[in-house]
C-alpha cells in the first residue's frame, strides 16, 4: 500500500469489530473513526492509539469516513443503515461483515446511495493472520476502491475474492473454523493433563504441535493424508488412536459441524427476507 491516508469508520466494536480496529490501527496510512453503543469499548480501543477517534454516534462515524465497516449483529444492521443513510454519498463505500445479509438488502436499507462490499473475516486477523472472503460484485464500485479494500485486507492476512453465493460456505469453514480448532486443542490439553502434565505445559504442547503441524503442511505442500501417513507408522501408537477416531466417526462429525454452520447461515439469510 502507498502512504495516502485512508479514512475508515467502524460501527460496532464487539469481538470482530474490535479485532478490525486493533488490526487496522497498526497500518500507518489508516485513520480510524469508531462508534459503539457501549462507549467503554471504544475508549478501551482508543487508549494509546493516536489515529483512532471515538465518535458520538453511527451517523458521525459514517460522515467522517470513506470506508464504513458495519460490524453490528445482522438483526441490527437495517436500523444502523437507516441511521447513517443521510450521511452517505456516492464516494463512500459500505463494508458489511454480517452473516446472511445480502448486498441487495444492504442497498435497500441504505437507499442505494453508495456501493457496498461484503467481507467475511475470522478472528486470527488480530495477529495479522486473518483469512477473508471478499465480495466485490457491486457494479458501482470503482476499480481503485476495489484495489484499496483488497490491499487493506491483505495487510492483515489472506484474501479470497469470490461471488456472493459462496460467502456463507466460506463462513462455515473459515469463519467458524478457529472455534472448532480451539475445541480440538482443548481436548489435547485435557488429555495431556490427564496423563500427568501440568496445565501450563499441556497448553504449550498443544499449541506448539498445532503451530508446527500447520507450518509443515504449508511448506511441504503435501496433502493432509500423506502428512498423516508420515506419523502413522504400521503397528504404531498413532494408528491405534486413529482407528478409534475412525470407529467413532470423528472426521464425519467435524464435517457435519461445518455443514450445520452453513445451514444456520442460510437460515439466518432466510429470516431476513
Would you give per-residue pLDDT tens digits along the chain (273 residues)?
566 789 999 999 998 999 999 999 989 899 999 999 998 889 888 888 877 899 999 999 999 999 999 999 988 999 999 999 999 999 999 999 998 889 999 999 999 999 999 999 999 998 889 999 999 999 999 999 999 999 999 999 999 999 999 998 999 999 999 999 999 999 999 999 999 999 999 999 999 999 999 999 999 999 999 999 999 999 999 999 999 999 999 999 999 999 999 998 888 777 655
114 grid coordinates: 453508495
Cα of 19 vs its chain's centroid, Å: 9
Distance, CA of 27 to CA of 3 (rounded, Å) = 10
Q: Which CATH topology does 177-270 take?
A: ProC C-terminal domain-like fold (1.10.3730)
Residues ≥6 apart with Cβ < 8 Å to 32: 8, 9, 10, 21, 24, 25, 49, 51, 52, 53
Q: What is the predicted pLDDT for the residue at 128?
A: 86
Evaluate if pTM is beyond 0.85: yes
For residue 100, what pLDDT is reported? 83
By C-alpha distance, which of 116, 153, 136 is closest to 1?
A: 153
What integer pLDDT is reported at residue 50 of this predicted model? 77
Say if residues 11 and 80 touch (Cβ distance below 8 Å): yes
* Residue-range domain boundaries for the chain: 6-167, 177-270
What pLDDT sits at residue 46? 86
Helix (H, G, I), strand (E, B) or coil at 241: helix
DSSP 177: H
**CATH superfamily of the domain spanning 6-167:** NAD(P)-binding Rossmann-like Domain (3.40.50.720)
Tracing cell 485512508 back to the chain, one arrives at 6
Residue 134 bridge partners (DSSP): 119, 161
Give the pLDDT of residue 218: 95
pLDDT at 273: 52
Give the neighbor-by-neighbor strand order of the sheet with 30-35.
52-54, 30-35, 6-11, 67-70, 93-96, 116-120, 130-135, 157-161
Task: Supply the pLDDT for residue 55.
Answer: 95
Amino acid at each position: 500500500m502507498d502512504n495516502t491516508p485512508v479514512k475508515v469508520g467502524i460501527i460496532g466494536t464487539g469481538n470482530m469489530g474490535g479485532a478490525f480496529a486493533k488490526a487496522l490501527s497498526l497500518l500507518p496510512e489508516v485513520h480510524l473513526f469508531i462508534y459503539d453503543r457501549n462507549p467503554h469499548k471504544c475508549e478501551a480501543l482508543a487508549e494509546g492509539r493516536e489515529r483512532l477517534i471515538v465518535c458520538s454516534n453511527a451517523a458521525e462515524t459514517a460522515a467522517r469516513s470513506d470506508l464504513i465497516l458495519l460490524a453490528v449483529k445482522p438483526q441490527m444492521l437495517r436500523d444502523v443503515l437507516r441511521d447513517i443513510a443521510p450521511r452517505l454519498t456516492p464516494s463512500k463505500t459500505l463494508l458489511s461483515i454480517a452473516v446472511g445479509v445480502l448486498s441487495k438488502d444492504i442497498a435497500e436499507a441504505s437507499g442505494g446511495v453508495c456501493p457496498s462490499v461484503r467481507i467475511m473475516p475470522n478472528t486470527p486477523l488480530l495477529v495479522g493472520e486473518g483469512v477473508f472472503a471478499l465480495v466485490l460484485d457491486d457494479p458501482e464500485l470503482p476499480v481503485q476502491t476495489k484495489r484499496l479494500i483488497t490491499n487493506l485486507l491483505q495487510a492483515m492476512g489472506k484474501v479470497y475474492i469470490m461471488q456472493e453465493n459462496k460467502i456463507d460456505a466460506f463462513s462455515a469453514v473459515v469463519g467458524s473454523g478457529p472455534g472448532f480448532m480451539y475445541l480440538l486443542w482443548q481436548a489435547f490439553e485435557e488429555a495431556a493433563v490427564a496423563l500427568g502434565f501440568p496445565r501450563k505445559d499441556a497448553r504449550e504442547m498443544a499449541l506448539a504441535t498445532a503451530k508446527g503441524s500447520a507450518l509443515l503442511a504449508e511448506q511441504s505442500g503435501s496433502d493432509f493424508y500423506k502428512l498423516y501417513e508420515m506419523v502413522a507408522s504400521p503397528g504404531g501408537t498413532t494408528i491405534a488412536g486413529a482407528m478409534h477416531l475412525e470407529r467413532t466417526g470423528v472426521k464425519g462429525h467435524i464435517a457435519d459441524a461445518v455443514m450445520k454452520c452453513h445451514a444456520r447461515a442460510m437460515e439466518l439469510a432466510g429470516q431476513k427476507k
